[in-house]
Amino acid sequence: MRFDFHRVAFLAGAVWFIVPPAQAATLWTDWSAATTTGAAALNTVSGSLSLGGAPVTVTYRGATDAVQLSGADWWTVAGTPDPYAATGAPDQHDIIRLIGGDTSRYQVSFSTTVVDPVIALLSVGDRIHQTDYVFDQRPTLLSSGSGWWGGCSGCLFVTDHTVSDLEGHGVVQFKGAFTQLSWSVPQAENWHGFTVGAASVAAVSEPSVTALLACGLLVGAFLAKRRSK
């Protein structure tokens, strides 16, 4: 029997195509501690993400208007379209509130690499005054809509590295593997907030199964080649 590598590669690819990856659920940071829960020019807020059973420490450093570690659920959707349709609304009531309007830098760090993290935004800007989040990384808009204080499907939009908002509620994603996200907010607006999430790696099992099946095909072809000799 002749070993046909191209045929094996085709079969492995076919298995991957037949068994697509699952859609992983989005998990949100449980913010649990802060240097201060009030206004601060420099604050440190810490929390955790349980991704696939492995806790990831999430740390925010930057100015704050206030930090909510529990309490009112500002993420409750008040209208349509659903601003958090792509991921589901954050299930923690936590929120880090910002004002912006200066040269401050805002930074979120992960204790280990996180793939395709997301940031949920709430009430950024108002109906007249646009507020920008200017990221060092490139965001992708996942969904935008009407939240607690109104908004609309087009009230949050992305241009290059900048997320612009006119009473914006929604979710942006950063494609790739990251240990840090950072940005500035040049315009002041009282107040707007965010939290951070990521897809649960535990919900994505098919790629591992596919890899095993592909390896099995290659091993089978190798053994067949040896028997033919």
81, with CB counted inside 10 A (0-12, 13-18, 19+), is: middle
Helix/strand/coil (H/E/C) assignment for every residue in the chain: CCCCHHHHHHHHHHHHHHCCCCCCCEEECEEEEECCCCCEEEEEEEEEEEECCEEEEEEEEEEECEEECCCCCCCCCCCCCCCCCCCCCCCCCCEEEECCCCCCCEEEEEEEEEECCEEEEEEECCCCCCEEEEECCCCEEEEEEEECCEECCCCEEEECCEEEECCEEEEEECCCEEEEEEEECCCCCCCEEEEEEEECHHHCCHHHHHHHHHHHHHHHHHHHHHHHC
Q: What is the mean pLDDT of each run of 10 residues along the chain (229 residues)?
A: 46 41 79 98 96 91 98 89 96 96 96 97 94 98 94 95 96 98 97 95 42 45 46
Report the 10 Å Cβ neighbour count for 127: 12
Give the pair of three-digit tokens for residue 9: 């590669």
Count of C-beta atoms within a 10 Å radius of residue 21: 12
Tokens of 78: 């008040």
Orientation of helix 5-18 relative to helix 206-228, angle to 10° = 160
pLDDT of residue 3: 44
Q: What's CA 203's distance to the chain center, in Å?
A: 15
Q: What is the pLDDT of residue 127?
A: 87
56, 111 contact by CB (below 8 A): yes
What are the residue boundaries of the structural domains of the chain, listed by start? 1-22+205-229, 23-203
The pLDDT value given to residue 201: 66
The per-residue pLDDT for 154 is: 94
Rounded Cα–Cα distance for residues 184 and 171 (Å): 17
pLDDT of residue 24: 74
Q: What's the one-letter identity of residue 168?
A: G
